[in-house]
Amino acid sequence: MTAAASDGRGPGGAAAYVPLAVLFSLLWASAFLAVKVALRYSPPLFLMGSRFLLAAALLLGLALLQRRRFPAGPAAWARLAVLGLLNYALYLGIAAVALRHLSGGMGAVLASTIPLLLAAAGFLLLGERLNRPRLAGLAIAFASVVLVMYSRTSASDQPGAMLLILLANVFYAAGTILFKRWRPAEDAIVLNGVQFLAAGVAVLVPSLLTEPVTSVRPVLPFLLAMAYLLFAVSLGAMSIWFHLLRSGDATRASSYFFLNPIFGLFLGAVLLAEPVHLLDIAGTIGVALGIYLVQRPLSPH
C-alpha cells in the first residue's frame, strides 16, 4: 500500500475519509437499534441468516449483471468465505443472540472495544505504529466508554450478554486483521457478496434446525427494520468499512467505533425511549478527545 493510500488520499481523497468514517459509525450504531426492533418478531439467527442471504443475492446478482470479476480459484473463494464467517456469521450472529438481553445503546457501547483489539493486533501482526498520542487517545476513549458502561449497567443489560458481545468483537477484529493481511483484490460488490453468501449459509442452517422459525411475524415494523439492516447496514455501512480499511491502517479506521456508543445512546433515547445519563455526556467528550488523538498524523520518525 502506498503512503498516499495509507493516509486516506486514495480514491475520494483525504477529505472524504472522516465524513465516511462518521457515517459508518452512525449506520453501525443504528444497526443495534434496528436489530432490537426486528428481534421482537424473529429469532436472532433466522433474522441474521435471511438478511445475509438477501444481501448476497442482491450483490452477486448485480455483480453478474455488470460482469464483475469473481474470485480466481478455490483459495480466493476460501479467503472471502473465511472473512464472511468472521465478519458476519460469528460477529453479527453472536451479537444478535446477545442483544436479546442488552439494550441497543449498550450493544453500541460494547462495540467500541474493537479499536483496542485492533490496535493491539495491528501492532503485533501488521507492524502498525502506536505512538504516544495514539496510545493516549485509545486509553482516553476506552476509559470514557467504561464510564458510560458503568453508568448504564442495569437488569436489562445482563453480564452474560455483555461477554457474548465481547467474544463477537474478537471475531470481528480477527476478520479485519485477515482482510488487511490478505488484501483481497475483488471489488466491494463481489467482496461483500461472497462474504454474505458464506455467512448466510453458516447462520441460516443452524437456525432452521434449532429455532422456532414459524414464530417469525412479517409485520410492518419487522419489514422496515429488515430493509434498513439490508440496505443501510449490510450494503452501505460494510462497503464503507472495507473502503476505510483499504484507505488507512486498521487502528485509524477502527477508532471511529468509539463514536458508536455516542450515536447508539442518543439514537436509543430518541427512537426507543432509552434513558440518557449525565455520565453519557462526559463520556461523549472523552470519546471525542480520544478519536482526535488517534487521528493525528504519525510523525515520520
What string of DSSP letters covers 14-31?
HHHHHHHHHHHHHHHHHH
Least confident of 38-52, 112-126, 214-228: 112-126
Rounded distance between C-alpha atoms, residue 257 and residue 277, angstroms? 20
Rounded distance between C-alpha atoms, residue 53 and residue 195, angstroms? 10
Least confident of 42-56, 141-155, 188-202: 141-155
Q: pLDDT-derived band of residue 297, with 50, 70 and 90 as boundaries?
A: low
* pLDDT of 181 strictly over 80: yes
Q: Where are the domains of the chain?
A: 3-295
Rounded distance between C-alpha atoms, residue 82 and residue 107, angstroms? 24
Rounded distance between C-alpha atoms, residue 12 and residue 206, angstroms? 41
pLDDT of residue 125: 76
More confident residue, 289 or 188: 188
Rounded distance between C-alpha atoms, residue 119 and residue 126, angstroms? 10
The C-alpha cell that represents 171 in the structure block: 471475531
More confident residue, 111 or 98: 98
Q: What is the mean pLDDT of the segment spanning 168-181? A: 91
* pLDDT of 173 strictly over 60: yes
Rounded distance between C-alpha atoms, residue 137 and residue 131, angstroms? 10
More confident residue, 16 or 90: 90
pLDDT of residue 251: 66
